[in-house]
Amino acid sequence: MASIETPTTTLRRPAGYIARLGEWAINTNLALGDMGVFFLSTLYWIFRWPGRRAISETFAQMYEMGTKSIPVVMIGGGFIGAVLAVETLPQFQEIGLASRVGSIIVISVVKQVGPILTAVMLAGRLGGAMTAELGTMRVTEQIDALRVMGADPIRTLVVPRVLACVIMTPILTLYSDAIGILGGWLVAVRVEGVRNYPFWHYAAQSTDLFTVNVGLIKAFFFGIVISTVACYKGFRCGNGAQGVGRACTEAFVTGFCLILLSNFILALGLNNLYNALYPNQPSVL
Partner 1 sequence: MPDQSMQNSPPTPSPLIRFENVHKRFGSLVVLNGVSVAFAEGKTTVVLGPSGTGKSVLLKHIVGLLSPDSGSVYYRDMRIDHLKDRGMEPIRRKIGFLFQLSALFDSMTVGENVAFPMREHSGLSKSEIRDRVAERLAMVGMENTENKMPGELSGGQRKRVALARAIALNPELVLYDEPTTGLDPIRSDVINELILKLHEELKVSAIVVTHDMTSAFKVGDRLVMLMGGGIIADGTADELRAHSDPRVQRFIAGRADEEDLRALHRI
**In the bound complex, what is the minimum distance in angstroms from residue 159's beta carbon to partner 1?**
15
Q: Give the 3-state secondary structure of residue 100.
A: helix
Contacts of 148 (CB under 8 A, 6+ apart): none
**Would you give the distance in Å from CA 109 to the centre of its chain?**
15
Number of residues that bind partner 1 (CB under 8 A): 14
| d(C-alpha 266, C-alpha 15), whole Å | 39
CA-closest candidate to residue 226, choices 160, 177, 165: 165
Of 89-97, 142-150, 238-246, 257-265, the window that binds partner 1 (rule: CB under 8 A) is 142-150
Short-list 76, 86, 75, 110, CA closest to 194: 86
Residue type present at position 121:
M
Among 14, 150, 193, 279, binds partner 1 (CB under 8 A): 150
Of 147, 241, 249, 264, which one interacts with partner 1 (CB under 8 A)? 147
Binding part of the chain for partner 1, among 28-36, 68-76, 134-142, 265-273 by CB under 8 A, reads: 134-142
Distance from C-alpha of 18 to C-alpha of 12, rounded to nearest angstrom = 10
Site for partner 1 in 48-67 (CB under 8 A): 53
Give the C-alpha separation, 66 to 249, whole Å: 22
User: Which of 23, 34, 87, 144 lies at the binding interface for partner 1 (CB under 8 A)?
Assistant: 144
Site string for partner 1, 86-105 (x = CB under 8 A): --------------------
Smaller CB separation from partner 1, 39 or 202: 39
**Binding of partner 1 by 20 (CB under 8 A):** no
User: Which residues contact partner 1 (rule: CB under 8 A)?
Assistant: 53, 136-137, 140-142, 144-145, 147-152
